[in-house]
Amino acid sequence: MRSSDLNRAMRQIRKAAFMDTVESLTDAELLESFLVRGEEAAFEALVNRHGPMVLGVCQRVLRNTHDAEDAFQATFLVLIRKGRSIVPREMVGHWLYGVAYRTALEARSLVSKRQAKEREKGQVAKRPKRPATTLACMALPSCIVH
């Protein structure tokens, strides 16, 4: 057996053993386990535990499934990057709610700006091009177009 296969097998065994005890661990213990020991199962447990709340916040703010899913993912990326700043560690759920809400608001703002730019460009592109004679006739009240 190659060492990479053995390492993968050991990770799976540790994950299975850890997942059996996840239900009894607090958010603080899960966060600490993820941050200090890099336990992916702890992060997975936090996502499973708080994911529905985070997704619900994002959906209520954005009212678009795809944008909400993007904000959901961004929220948990922030947890990976800034999870050490959560004090006290028991406040993971509250912290995630705040991050999800602010992330969704920022996403809504970006979507709004993008849509405004698209409307501007769309209006310019949708204008029908008229021949010069038609434009000239529109300017002259006496011109009759057949």
pLDDT digits (tens, 9 = 90+) for 19-63: 567 778 999 999 999 999 999 999 999 999 999 999 999 999 999
Distance set, CA 113 to CA 27, 63, 101, 109 (Å): 37, 16, 18, 6
Whether the pLDDT of residue 117 is over 50: the answer is yes
CATH number belonging to the domain at 3-139, selected among 3.90.230.10, 3.40.30.10, 1.10.1740.10, 3.10.450.50: 1.10.1740.10
- Residue 10's pLDDT is what? 72
Taking the complete model, does pTM exceed 0.85, yes or no? Answer: no
Q: What is the mean pLDDT of residues 104-125?
A: 86
Mean pLDDT of the chain: 83
Percent over 90 (pLDDT), the chain: 61
Q: Any idea where the domains of the chain sit in the sequence?
A: 3-139
Is the Cα torsion angle 8, 14, 20, 25 positive or negative in sign? negative
Q: What whole-number distance in Å separates Cα of residue 78 and Cα of residue 8? A: 27
Q: What is the mean pLDDT of residues 89-107?
A: 97
Q: What is the mean pLDDT of residues 119-135?
A: 55
Whether the pLDDT of residue 144 is over 60: the answer is no
Q: What whole-number distance in Å separates Cα of residue 117 and Cα of residue 9? A: 51
- Residue 21's pLDDT is what? 73
